[in-house]
A and B are shown apart, each in its own frame.
Chain A
């Protein structure tokens, strides 16, 4: 864990390959590489991160009339967090990186909320102007290991149409999403889960829970377009402590049942639009989810 070839190490390897006239792999391409081949270096960084994110437990956010739901499945460590009065986040990735991101988000929000006003703490400002540039800086720094995560940030408005969902990536890029958002192991999986959510009819928290679970199953089971997932090479670098190898089925229900059998549990946070409590955020209890989980 934590090991990656630095650009320099890669260059050394490359030079050896180039100097060897019998090398079959690099023979043609070798000439096109310069010492500072940023494209190649970035590709390597992306591969490093993507490889580790691939088997992560997806995170699903759904905005509905009563608030916003953020759901994932976890083994031990929490993945869904309250950030500020009307802000929460759900992350997949390396635990230590999740922690850095979480603390950075919470500290920035609280400082701003106290020194200015809680009303000035917005997801646009937090993700767009604070976190994204900071994450991008780390990603661009060739001397560091990139942060390994995909995160959803959710901000609850006074009405559902004022809710905001942002998905922030390890390279600092972020996209906004209306109504629902998914962060999963691959872009393909995210698209598949989003396609499902776009069609789902969600009126209350129970609908949202049910849809989010199915979306999780899709995001987990359909990582790539090709059917034969056993063709995928096994990467020894991937962190599988949380998630064992996925099965061949692309059925979300099968993926969920397998995950539950494997000891994963649902972690779901909600921001409640119409609560009289001082805190809008709370984690759902097993009792809150009992009727939906009974299906599995």
Chain B
């Protein structure tokens, strides 16, 4: 019974050996419609999938900051206002998720196990490139489902590269291709509206990677608020505080609530100007 023929630390293989189904993201296992359960029946949303909206990653001088609003939507309805869309995969990896919530949470659960299983069984952490490929594989495995409209997931992965001693940000397309960005990344429904703002800030205020934490955090929160103003699906910070986490050489930390509250208060205190001739 102890004779388990393995040893590569490959979590998908571990599941594949014993599980009656295939790996968790093969087309065989993604047909279950999460929201068709009784919890959602009768409200006209039975066939809607819940989506996470805007997440942002920016570099700063000690690492990377991730922020995300707390909204999750199903069609035109706001389904949840306390969604956590910035999740730690291990001590130095954050995944910010957008798109189909059910799939994204599955992917997070899978990767957490895959990274930890590798590290615990192989007695060394999975390499940075290994982690990036693992996520790429999972997204590629989900592509069939994505094409059928069952659930596209677009994550932004932020890591602290311990060898280079700096934060790094990667984004993916729906097919699993990955791209590294120099300064910032964003995903979700509100991300397209604010793409130009990133550029503007970086050119006008200097690179994000040279900012201290609070300066970069303020910019990221402002970007999120602009996304909320321009995208119906992104939740504003007025109702519920966004989520903000940092990764540095010391690992992942939540930004303390008091800092977050005062920054958000400051951003929200600037009321939009009224239209028409000023009296």
Contact = CB atoms under 8 A, between A and B. Distances in A.
A, B: real partners? yes
Given A134-B1, A276-B253, A114 B15 contact: yes
Contacts of A83: 120
B90 A279 contact: yes
A83 B123 CA distance: 11
17 contacts: A78-B123, A81-B120, A103-B4, A104-B1, A107-B6, A107-B14, A107-B117, A110-B11, A110-B113, A111-B18, A114-B113, A134-B2, A138-B1, A277-B91, A277-B252, A278-B91, A278-B252
A135 B3 CA distance: 11
Given A114-B15, A277-B91, A277-B251, A104 B2 contact: yes
B91 A279 contact: yes
B14 A110 contact: yes
Nearest to B24: A114
Nearest to A282: B91
A27 interface: no
B116 interface: yes
Nearest to A113: B113
Contacts of B1: 104, 133-134, 137-138
B253 to A, nearest CB: 7
Interface in A49-92: 78, 81-85
A115 B19 contact: yes
Contacts of A85: 116
Report the interface size class on chain B: 20 to 34
Contacts of A279: 90-91, 116
Contacts of A115: 15, 19
Contacts of B18: 111
B117 A110 contact: yes
A39 interface: no
Contacts of A134: 1-2
B110 A114 contact: yes
Report the interface size class on chain A: 20 to 34
Contact of A138 (B2, B15, B88, B90): B2
Nearest to A82: B120
Contacts of A22: none
A111 B7 contact: no
* A interface SS class: helix
Contacts of A276: 251, 253-254
A101 interface: yes
B116 A103 contact: no
Contacts of B14: 107, 110-111
A122 to B, nearest CB: 17
Nearest to A134: B1
A251 to B, nearest CB: 34
A81 B122 CA distance: 11
Nearest to B93: A278
Interface of A: 78, 81-85, 100-104, 106-107, 110-111, 113-115, 133-135, 137-138, 147, 276-279
Contacts of A101: 2
Interface in B52-101: 88-91
B121 interface: yes
A136 to B, nearest CB: 10
* Max count, chain B CB within 10 A of own CB: residue among A85, A100, A106: A106
Contacts of A147: 2
B109 interface: yes
Given A134-B2, A135-B2, A103 B121 contact: yes
A107 B4 CA distance: 9
* Max count, chain A CB within 10 A of own CB: residue among B11, B91, B109, B120: B120
Given A111-B15, A114-B110, A277-B91, 12 more contacts: A81-B123, A85-B116, A100-B2, A103-B4, A103-B121, A107-B4, A107-B6, A115-B19, A276-B251, A277-B252, A278-B90, A278-B251
Contacts of B6: 103, 107
A287 B120 CA distance: 23
Contacts of B116: 85, 110, 279
Nearest to B90: A278
A83 B15 CA distance: 17
Contacts of A104: 1-2, 4
A110 B109 CA distance: 11
A100 to B, nearest CB: 5
B117 A106 contact: yes
A114 B109 contact: yes
B261 to A, nearest CB: 19
Contacts of B109: 114
Interface in B9-27: 11, 14-15, 18-19
The 10 closest A-B pairs by CB, nearest first: A134-B1, A114-B113, A110-B117, A278-B88, A100-B2, A104-B2, A278-B91, A106-B121, A82-B120, A106-B120
Contacts of A137: 1
Contacts of A114: 11, 15, 109-110, 113
Nearest to B18: A111
B152 to A, nearest CB: 23
